[in-house]
Amino acid sequence: MAELNDTSIQTIPKDDVLVIGNGMVGHHFVDQLRAQHPACSIRVLSGEPRLAYDRVHLSEFFSGKTADELAMTSAEYYQDLKISFHTDAWVQEINKEAKVVTTRDGQKYAYQKLVLATGSYPFVPPIPGNQQEHCLVYRTIEDLEAIQASANVSKVGVVVGGGLLGLEAANAIKETGLETHVVEFAPQLMAVQLDAPGGRVLRDKINELGVKVHTQKATTEIVPGEDCRYRMNFADGSHLETDMILFSAGIRPSDALAREFDLSVGERGGIEINNFCLTSDPSIYAVGECALWQQRIFGLVAPGYTMARAAVSHILNGDSPDTLTFEGADMSTKLKLMGVEVGSIGDAHSNTEGALSYTYENQALGVYKKIVVDAEQTTLLGAVLVGDTSDYDTLLQYALNGISLPEFPESLILPSTGDSAPGLGADALPMTATVCSCHNVSKGDVIAAIDEGNCDLDSVKSCTKASSGCGGCAALLKNVVDSELEKRGVEVKKDICEHFAHSRQELFHIVKVEGIRTFEQLIEKHGNGLGCEVCKPAAASIFASVYNEFVLDKSHIGLQDTNDTYLGNMQKDGTYSVVPRVPGGEITPEKLILLGEVARDYALYTKITGGQRVDLFGARVEDLPDIWQRLVDGGFETGHAYAKALRTVKSCVGSTWCRYGVQDSVGQAIDLENRYKGLRAPHKIKFAVSGCTRECAEAQSKDIGVIATDNGWNLYVCGNGGMKPRHADLFATDLDSETLVKYIDRILSFYVKTADRLQRTSVWMDNMEGGLAYLQDVIINDSLGIAAELEAQMETVVDTYQCEWKTAIEDPESRKRFRQFVNSKNQDDNITFVQERGQIRPATEAEKKSINVVELA
């Protein structure tokens, strides 16, 4: 290594703090340091070609999230904070005496304090053949891009490793549409977090999802396959063929720099640190997965954040008594693996001497729960939850805070019966109770934020950063905030607006029970004032859900928003879209021709959507009735694209055409769309039906998803795409068509009856006490005794369906609404188009001044 002389050292600018690594923990360190010391000079060297991104939600890349959406920072953000940064800056040398590091391109950077946040790297077992082209790892965005490229030329994928990361990787492969397998050396999945029965339940649930699990398999070699690209030979003589192999068999700390440049490392790896996160060099710190504290590596983000805060505190305060320290971390975790809820707390394996355990298992629902208590049965030591983690927050607080257990500890995991299950409200938590482990926010911190004037949930989140990490503490945080505000006499309102002292759910109940059919009756009896743009559309939606009357009736028209008023979506230039329904995506050639003719005759822009429909854009308001007339005469109906209603039921071609299909997904999709096409709801609803577990219709990203099995249909609920994508949860398996429809009837009616205004099904269920398990109890077991009522409500909607386009064009009064000008037949000259790619698009302001506008026929 080249020596630096005094002259060369003096020419290198010296930063107060130099950070090697810009993962989640490295970025958190930078954020914390800058917040507490606005003036110090900070430089970041990222070995990756990009700045920090969210590895916790990495698998969402395969469900549509982009690298930019995963980003946790940006060049502009660091520039605003006056933080110097370099990407593709791989450090290959540390000169501890000179306090200078050198990157592989020869750049040198000096420091006062150096922070190693180099993270970890995937462990690849030493299997002959593991270096071939389609043998990959799952760690970075570049890895994801390689996985996607491999999946595009593959049919079968295998993940080696059945731990947390392995199952995340399996979900990633499954999202690409490949037949997916998991190969695990141990006898069970997630052996670190789960006991044997919990691992068995998890395996069964993942198998049900179409991912084949192979445990107790030791791969001896990877050789060319006969039917696939590779063949994995196992020590027991069996084998498995695959086109792609994804290694996710654990991580190893990235400690190569420490080893080479004489920092103390553990016998099995990791940069040794003390409670201040200092290494063996007094000027160098290590945080995150590269750091070894008391012979332990912490592979979760929350402990890494705690290390980062401790390092910042020591850099700024030295050995002061006020300096924060790292003294280990709780490794409890709650997550969803391929839609399966899993939770692990503390001593999940009953390793504590004298420990006792209580278990509950419901094989029909695929739920397993276990709590581990001390010999005196007064303290919770650990827990395992598979299939239902609704008790996780309560159990975690019992474990972390040493709260005394109830007389019958088993009541904590047994299904609730009335008031028999002991609750643990926000008031029962001590001030030291951790609300958000990612950002180390305690109940006391939340209350202090409220003391400082943050008197709503969003303000508390902004002030404390609670719930801005993994988001798992959202429900607990809301409970603490609401409880504290109520104790201070602050009313925690659920009112829909200033005109009604009621929530949407309460208004729905009032309308249904009292038979109220107009807004005037509703506000006269239960509200005040004239109403507003919040309560009027909400009331309109409730009336439509309960009575299904024509939305443009005189008594309802004034309540609708612009889109419902004109039965089409208004576009940026003042024109409207026309979206006819195409049930299940199936369409005849004659109807396709008709759509083309209408688009041609009215000069409309045509777009095939992800929902398997043809959207027609650029319709002038005065042309809408004539366009609808032609479409209705040709057998089309409104597609409700403008409404908070059922939009589409997407389908694959199913068993009719596809060699993998096991059920008629098209027929099922058409039946479901025709049944629910008139349903108005608090938010838009989307369905999909896949004919096999290859999932070409993407059913697991829909409000209602249906996937065919050899024995019937698997039902998934409460998923969505959009700004905050969420996988649907497996609700019930192997249903016949009659039972499938019955459950969907009940679910949608219950949603319409109980959801808040503009609340998607995913948020509705997540906010429901008991979550998925509670919904299953209501729908499947009729625990509330309302199943018949819910089914009857849906039958009312089905029986009263009308095509709103058809009703509008048959009503002379309704047709009068569709005029550009009341006293003139002239068109709006402000609506102009230009040609692009053979079709029209709205002209820009500059283009409107030119002559290249499209004249409509």
Our CA dihedral for 622, 623, 629, 635, rounded to 10 degrees, sits at: -130
| pLDDT class of 856 with cuts at 50, 70, 90 | very low
Per the rule left: phi > 0, alpha: psi between -120 and 50, beta: everything else, 480 is: alpha
| CATH pick for 331-424 out of 3.30.565.10, 3.30.390.30, 3.30.1450.10, 1.10.1200.10 | 3.30.390.30
Q: Give 335's strand partners.
A: 342
Indicate the fold that domain 426-491 takes in CATH. Arc Repressor Mutant, subunit A (1.10.10)
Which tops the pLDDT comparison, 680 or 554? 680
What is the mean pLDDT of the segment spanning 659-665? 92
Res 169: pLDDT? 87
Look at strands 712-717 and 729-735 and give their pairing.
Answer: antiparallel
Res 418: pLDDT? 38
> CA–CA separation, 705 vs 557, rounded Å?
33
Judge whether residue 338 has pLDDT over 70. yes
Res 769: pLDDT? 75
CATH number of 639-799: 3.30.413.10
Between the two ends of the chain, the Cα-to-Cα distance in Å is 78
Look at strands 156-160 and 244-247 and give their pairing.
Answer: parallel
pTM of structure: 0.57
Asked whether 138 and 62 are in contact (CB, 8 A), the reply is no
- Per-residue pLDDT of 421-445, as tens digits, reads 445 667 777 787 778 877 778 888 8
Judge whether residue 746 has pLDDT over 70. yes
Instruction: Let me know if domain 124-249 sits in CATH 3.50.50.60.
Output: yes
> CA–CA separation, 424 vs 405, rounded Å?
10
Res 6: pLDDT? 53
> CA–CA separation, 736 vs 713, rounded Å?
6
Task: Judge whether 124-249 and 331-424 match in fold.
Answer: no
What are the structure tokens assigned to 857, written together?
A: 């026929």
Classify the C-alpha dihedral 391-392-397-403 as positive or negative: positive
What are the structure tokens assigned to 245, written together?
A: 């192999």
Close Cβ partners of 151 (under 8 Å, ≥ 6 residues apart): 157, 173, 176, 177, 178, 244
Burial of residue 564 (CB within 10 Å: 0-12, 13-18, 19+) is buried
What is the mean pLDDT of the segment spanning 136-149? 92
> What is the overall mean pLDDT for the chain?
88
Instruction: Let me know if domain 6-121+253-317 sits in CATH 3.40.50.1110.
Output: no
Chain centroid, CA 488 distance in Å: 34
Q: Percent of the chain scored above 70 by pLDDT?
A: 93
- Per-residue pLDDT of 588-640, as tens digits, reads 999 999 999 999 999 999 999 888 899 999 888 888 999 999 999 999 999 99
Res 207: pLDDT? 87
Binding site membership: which residues? 652, 658, 692, 696
Give me the residue spans of the domains in the chain.
6-121+253-317, 124-249, 331-424, 426-491, 504-553, 639-799
- Per-residue pLDDT of 27-86, as tens digits, reads 999 999 999 999 999 999 999 999 999 888 787 787 677 888 889 999 999 999 999 999
> CA–CA separation, 770 vs 777, rounded Å?
10
Q: Percent of the chain scored above 90 by pLDDT?
A: 57
Neighbours of 98 (CB within 10 A): 17
What is the mean pLDDT of the segment spanning 141-153? 92
Binding site membership for [4Fe-4S] cluster: which residues? 652, 658, 692, 696
77-to-33, 83, 238, 722 alpha-carbon distances in Å: 15, 9, 53, 25
724-to-141, 189, 199, 720, 822 alpha-carbon distances in Å: 19, 29, 30, 8, 42
- Which string of DSSP letters, residue by residue, matches 306-365? HHHHHHHHHHHHTT-TT----------EEEEETTEEEEEEE-TT--STT-EEEEEEETTT
Binding site membership for siroheme: which residues? 696
Which tops the pLDDT comparison, 99 or 339? 99
Res 645: pLDDT? 93
Asked whether 94 and 226 are in contact (CB, 8 A), the reply is no
